[in-house]
Structure 1
């Protein structure tokens, strides 16, 4: 990928490699202390960040960990929303084992999200980020929360370019035999999904980092995000297969053919208020993939930047706080 992006420009290649070395040797800020444990179901834990206010259960993607929503003490959407008077709860997927090889994405909804909704109660708002939003649509269709928030959540996978979908199919076909034997799709393969979707950005961010002050707050934030992106848990084999083939290639969700717990999942099943937040510049989940339903807010911020970028507190966090507060007053 480095050769394909910078082979024509030795200066850019040198800068990217320098940025990579700077990232590898950069000082790490200790992780924020763990919030209180509200509940646990097998490997999945639910952490709470406040004891009062409207409960909002956040479901992260199965790709990478939940830490992006609680990146650091100075940059945490969970802690930021708690300070604004909400009661955020974060679902932590933990690490699956080979014994869950047959648990697909819909199975995660049934086994883990629905019990979590039962725990937090019907007055809670359900909020899903990225693939967690796709899963939250299914959960809301099966067990209605007070309201549903979707954040950069893909639904119509035809919104991805045909090149991206073909690349990911080839990636899956190459990885599937080993993943099936392991019962897991390793994080190293999952990380390649993002590299394939946006290789230009993958290289450019290391070029940019080579010129930064490693002691700056911006550099610390960059390192924390990269560590999160490069250190995710594996995905169960069946979930990986369903993501790559059933959703990404066949677009079962967008075609109205995705069934969870025996029920076809679609927007017509959502009888609660829905806030649908998408980004006009998101290359990971383009705006064209969003569910065509609910109150739409379009942000000109990246897939990860909308959550942890400099604009996040006054943009995404504020939109969520304001919308949930309106629910409380209605």
Structure 2
């Protein structure tokens, strides 16, 4: 029978997500702004059951956006990675993405398997997919193709989180995305049909001494003082467990330039303990008149509200730890 994942934990994401499990048993669903994998578990199971060789492999990563489901598998030694794409709108066949031999490196299994598994990120339009290996082997694939293209400028960077600026995403490309790495570095990237549209720029290092691993990023445009556009960034890290926030005028390079020169505002809250597999992740939701966050930590769920004061101030209001168990 199809595995019942309807009661599994769902984690909305700023820019994409991953999914881990073994033998087709979905243990964690990270479904972007879409809960397709939760609301239609039978269809997801049927899609995976049609993938050649999937029953002899483990599902190590997954991303869902709109009608598209991307699934990465590996053998039980954490090698032989394969990526499949399935369109939930009527398609009965999942297609394998052409990555090339020995792509994405090794490292899906073992005690640190969730830290070493490849990550998959989809932009809000579902048109652009970024597949990132733990060994710094990174690829791009379009919705209209099954052939992946190696991201030369990204090579060597272990990408662990991506937040897309939705106002810059279209069918033709991605104008801006904030990229986090396992070493605590932040980058801005862009993608388009021409070479001039492709950028990968190092913006900021969170902590050169502690090298916290970026686990989740949320990016929001807000109306700043005087009606100007400002950017608010909320991101979580593991090793150490921290919740960072940045706010300032955009675009992204200007925000971090202001921060380095002392004109920007940034802060973080450090929380005790650590979770296996760098599972510390923050959920952020901005609704009408309210912004709320919740972060999974070793001691419970750290949660509260976010109060923004124009383009210059951030307050984590009524922040408290909800113990688990």
**Please, what TM-score do these two structures have when normalized by structure 2?**
0.25
Structure with more of its chain in helix, by fraction: 1
**Please, what TM-score do these two structures have when normalized by structure 1?**
0.25
Structure with more of its chain in strand, by fraction: 2
